[in-house]
Amino acid sequence: MKRVLVVGAGSAGGNNLMRSLQAGDGTPFLVGCNDNRFVLKKSFAQANYRVPEVSHRGFLAALRTIVRRERIDLVIPTNDAEVLALSAGRKGLGCRTFLPRHAVIRRCQDKYALSAFLRRRGIPAPLTYPIGRAGDIERIFRRFAPGTQLWCRIRRGTGSLGAIPVTSPAQVASWIAYFEEMRGIPKGLFTLSEYLPGRDFCVQCLWKDGRLVLAKMAERLTYLVSGSPSGVSSTPALAKTVFEPRAIRACARAIRALDGSATGVYFVDMKERADGTPCITEINAGRFATITNIHDLPGKHNMAVTFVRLALDEPVAVRGHSDFADGFYLVRSVDTVPEVIHGDELFKRIAYPR
């Protein structure tokens, strides 16, 4: 039996990944770890370990101990910090990681650097400028049409932290000052970019040695936000399976541009311009989306299971690379298990008072 270590066990990303692995055939023996003892108590894994924080120098040593004790075949990170740490220490872990190249991971974790990289190669991405200091804000605004709504966000991090639509330099200056003074965000990390008003996509894909093996996508419809000024988040409350060939092609072009020998999992966030052009807003290299269940459970191929097989050099029978299952919805809310439901099932066992 394959033995897999999931870092971040008990978190939404860790547990959703394990749910997908448990739904497939040949379920591996799952070992989980987390630095938070309370979150770890929610882990679905058969064995669990508390480890130091990912930034602690003992983190990798703790993983090596678990790998040796549990005879781990593959370790899978579930957030960006874990991806970066495992990538830097992958050679000494004693098991496989199946991660993209370290330089690719670092580039993708800087949203401004990624956007500039893609635009230089003609790949659709939002026009973006870094804000080095407060005096840059008005000059950047003048590069866009007067009265244009723009998007202000932090160039690193997840969960739409620090993201907001803005229409004036004063709004940007106040927003940045708040985050720097009250939230401890270092200076020089904010950007301004064109606002993308269209549909919001998540494309998840698996690669091995430069070959696109499997790609699936979903559209975010509503969001798990609580008083967020932007009204949107990378975390949807409702999403549905979709297939947009232009979006898949743009993702493939981007990842091949980043690495001609791309390997591992990439999930790509995209939003449409007003004319319907899907633009890449970020690429998360080396980890699954928190909503991975909508990419794993519908369709012929479970992406999480396929990832493990690719990582361990087992045969994978995927014809083409797209696996679109029409009509499925992911429904999520706080303190409930996410459900993937076909549209035909949405109204069964539901009555309306007359």
* pLDDT the model gives residue 226: 55
* pLDDT the model gives residue 354: 78
- Domain presence at residue 111: no
Beta-strand runs (E) in the chain? 3-7, 29-34, 47-50, 74-76, 128-130, 150-154, 164-166, 190-194, 200-208, 211-223, 236-241, 264-272, 278-285, 328-331, 339-342
Pair (268, 160) in one structural domain: no
Q: Residue 223 sits in a domain of what CATH number?
A: 3.30.470.20
- The C-alpha atoms of residue 202 and residue 280 are separated, in whole angstroms, by 10
Domain boundary among 153, 178, 194: 194
Give, in degrees to the nearest 5, the angle at Cα 273 between 245 and 258: 60
CA 288 centroid distance within chain: 6
Percentage of the residues of the chain whose pLDDT score is greater than 90: 81
Q: Which domain holds residue 232?
A: 200-345
Widest distance between CA atoms in the chain: 66
Pair (79, 132) in one structural domain: no
pLDDT, tens digit, for every residue of 158-213?
767 788 999 999 999 999 999 999 988 888 899 999 999 999 999 999 999 999 99
* pLDDT the model gives residue 228: 65
- The C-alpha atoms of residue 51 and residue 195 are separated, in whole angstroms, by 40
Can you give the C-alpha Rg of the chain in angstroms? Answer: 21
104 within 8 A of 270, measured Cβ to Cβ: no
pLDDT, tens digit, for every residue of 212-263?
999 999 999 999 865 566 667 778 999 999 999 999 999 999 999 999 999 9
* pLDDT the model gives residue 278: 97
Pair (37, 150) in one structural domain: no
Pair (236, 336) in one structural domain: yes
Pair (36, 70) in one structural domain: yes
pLDDT, tens digit, for every residue of 64-108?
999 999 999 999 999 999 999 999 999 999 999 999 999 999 999
Pair (190, 209) in one structural domain: no
Pair (14, 91) in one structural domain: yes
β-bridge mates for residue 5, sequence order: 31, 75
248 within 8 A of 237, measured Cβ to Cβ: no
The domain total for the chain is 3
pLDDT, tens digit, for every residue of 142-151?
999 888 899 9
Q: Residue 113 burial (CB < 10 Å; 0-12/13-18/19+)? A: middle
- The C-alpha atoms of residue 264 and residue 301 are separated, in whole angstroms, by 16
- The C-alpha atoms of residue 311 and residue 264 are separated, in whole angstroms, by 8
The phi, psi pair for 178, rounded to 5°, reads -60, -50
Pair (319, 258) in one structural domain: yes
* 3-state SS string for 42-65: CCCCCEEEECCCCCCCCHHHHHHH
- Say whether 264 sits in a helix, a strand or coil: strand
* pLDDT the model gives residue 351: 79
Q: Residue 19 sits in a domain of what CATH number?
A: 3.40.50.20
User: Of how many residues is the chain composed?
Assistant: 354
> How many CB atoms sit inside 10 A of residue 120's CB?
10
Long-range contacts of 295-298 (CB under 8 A, 24+ apart): 295/204, 295/216, 295/217, 295/218, 296/20, 296/23, 296/24, 297/20, 297/23, 297/328, 297/340, 298/241, 298/325, 298/328, 298/340, 298/342
Pair (188, 227) in one structural domain: no
pLDDT band at residue 316, thresholds of 50, 70 and 90?
A: very high
- Domain presence at residue 352: no
- Domain presence at residue 114: no
* 173 Cβ contact list (under 8 Å, min separation 6): 134, 137
Q: In terms of pLDDT, which residue wins out, 333 or 107?
A: 107
Pair (7, 56) in one structural domain: yes
DSSP string spanning 186-228? PTT-EEEEE---S-EEEEEEEEETTEEEEEEEEEEEEE--SS-
Q: Residue 147 sits in a domain of what CATH number?
A: 3.30.1490.20
The answer on pLDDT for 129 being more than 90 is yes
- Domain presence at residue 232: yes
* pLDDT the model gives residue 227: 56
Pair (307, 237) in one structural domain: yes
The structure tokens 């101990």 sit at 65
- The C-alpha atoms of residue 30 and residue 264 are separated, in whole angstroms, by 19
